[in-house]
Amino acid sequence: MSYLPPTRELRERLDTARTLSRLFYREEALVLACGDFIPWVARLETKAELGRTAWECAVAADALRERVFELRYPSRFLDERAVEIGVATADELRGLLRSQRDEYRRYLDAADELADGPSIRIADSALRDKKRQTGALAALDLAEVDPARDADYFLSSFYWPDVLDPGYPYGEGIALQVRSAVSHLNEVWAVETAGRILHDLSPELGWEFTAEAARWLYDETRHMLMGKERLEAWGLPNAMVPLGGYIYEAWRGEDALYGLGMLGYFETKNIGRKRERAAAFHEMGDATSEIDMEFDWADETLHAEYGRRWLRRLLEVRGDDPESWPQVLERCEQLVRARIEEATPEDLERIRACADALVRGAEQRAG
Ligand SMILES: [Fe+2]
Ligand SMILES: [Fe+2]
């Protein structure tokens, strides 16, 4: 008997699933490494790039994972990770990004458009991201201290006097515009906290957490950059702008459980004020601050839900009562209070002078 010959170079369906699983594990390793490194890079732009890369890798990984399930339907499993993919240095991160980029290229060269179009779409987007990431992180450099800070700024753990002196007014008008931008910039603590919990808690909480925590991290980097860009656009030099991180410092030496508590709690505490602030900026004709506040509000609403859900889940996974989360938050409050108690009168004087000068400088620029 004779048959018609194959007309395309076909790849086996299950073979493809194995290849995509391998790409998934490598993306997952990239996500965790980005989170791990965030507190150890000084420049805010680099922290932001690591956050963006973590999220993009998580988006690619999630799509790969779902595609593997489709290819294996009706069973729903990923192959065991073949090798442990450790990424301990900046060089290793760069190397993995480049080799992942090359893997996508190879995959796309061999893939069959008709049979495997959905996978091609995923690999294509991932390859585009990998090209950007390899360029953006080419100069990645890890510092010796955690949290690493860009010394261009006015470095002060407590980034506004009201942290140490509740009598210091939040401010109105220009003072409110400046205070709000400084708050956004100082979400650097949230960026670092999100990076650490992403890395530290993913092994216990699994992929769903990893994917959401990567988005959480990316959102916090966007909030930080919102503040940075507003301050720069107003022409306020970095040397006059306070940059701190006392909340991250408060839990740094503790179990990442408390990092999750801090991020879920302290980051969403002011959620109720954000609408009101956006309205105030609208009145002032400051559309940038208004829009930033609106989008921040939308993100925080998601985050509040992440925080509640994952804190309960973590307690449950550890065999603790999931309803005991208020105790975790209580301990978070204690840790922050203890960090604040370490502040000296000189710390308060220093940050007060900095804040006063910044608001004066902004008033002068407004004319
Ligand atoms: Fe935020
Ligand atoms: Fe948040």
Q: Residue 12 above 90 pLDDT?
A: no
Cross-strand bridge partners of residue 155: 243
Q: Residue 270 above 90 pLDDT?
A: no
- pLDDT, position 83: 84
- Whose CA is closest to 140, among 14, 45, 226, 69? 45
**Quick one: which H or E segment has residue 327?**
helix 325-341
Range list of H helices, 206-251: 207-233, 246-251
Cα of 220 vs centre of ligand 2, distance in Å, is 6
Evaluated on CA atoms 188, 190, 194, 196, the torsion sign reads positive
In angstroms, what is the C-alpha Rg of the chain? 23
Instruction: Enter the tokens of residue 13.
Output: 């369906």
Cα of 1 vs centre of ligand 1, distance in Å, is 68
Which residues are near ligand 1, the ion (C-beta closer than 5 Å)?
A: 187, 220, 223
**Angle, nearest 10°, between helix axes 287-317 and 271-284?**
170
Give 362's Cβ-side CA count (13 Å radius).
25
Dist CA 281 CA 21 (whole Å):
48
Entry pTM: 0.97
- pLDDT, position 65: 98
Instruction: Enter the tokens of residue 2.
Output: 């004779």
Cα of 17 vs centre of ligand 2, distance in Å, is 35
DSSP 8-state code for residue 58: H
Kindly identify the ligand whose nearest atom is closest to the C-alpha of 306: 2
Kindly identify the ligand whose nearest atom is closest to the C-alpha of 264: 2
Instruction: Enter the tokens of residue 185.
Output: 């910039």
Dist CA 108 CA 106 (whole Å):
5
Q: Percentage of the chain with pLDDT > 90?
A: 90
| Cβ neighbours for 262, distance < 8 A, ≥ 6 positions apart | 193, 247, 248, 250, 251, 332, 335, 336
Cα of 75 vs centre of ligand 2, distance in Å, is 36
Cα of 307 vs centre of ligand 2, distance in Å, is 9
Q: Which amino acid is at 157?
A: S
Q: What is the pLDDT of residues 133-156, one digit of tens each?
A: 999 999 999 999 999 999 999 999
| Rounded average pLDDT over 114-131 | 97
| Cβ neighbours for 185, distance < 8 A, ≥ 6 positions apart | 44, 224, 227, 228, 231, 241, 243
Is residue 328 classed as helix, strand or coil in its secondary structure? helix
In this structure, how many other beta carbons lie within 10 angstroms of the beta carbon of residue 3?
5
Dist CA 210 CA 36 (whole Å):
13
Kindly identify the ligand whose nearest atom is closest to the C-alpha of 194: 2
**Cis peptide before 74, with omega less than 30 degrees from 0?**
yes
- pLDDT, position 173: 96
- Give the residue, 91 or 9, on which the prediction is more confident: 91
Q: Residue 120 above 80 pLDDT?
A: yes
Q: Residue 29 above 80 pLDDT?
A: yes
Cα of 172 vs centre of ligand 1, distance in Å, is 21
Q: Which amino acid is at 252?
A: R
Q: State the pLDDT confidence band at 274, using cuts at 50, 70 and 90.
A: confident
Which residues are near ligand 2, the ion (C-beta closer than 5 Å)?
A: 267, 300, 303
- Whose CA is closest to 168, among 364, 365, 359, 362? 359
Q: Residue 11 above 80 pLDDT?
A: no
Instruction: Enter the tokens of residue 211.
Output: 């994917």
Least confidently predicted of 12-21, 133-142, 202-211, 338-347: 12-21
Cα of 23 vs centre of ligand 1, distance in Å, is 30
Dist CA 68 CA 303 (whole Å):
28
Evaluated on CA atoms 88, 90, 93, 95, the torsion sign reads negative
Please say whether the beta carbons of 241 and 154 come within 8 A: yes
Instruction: Enter the tokens of residue 70.
Output: 């489709």
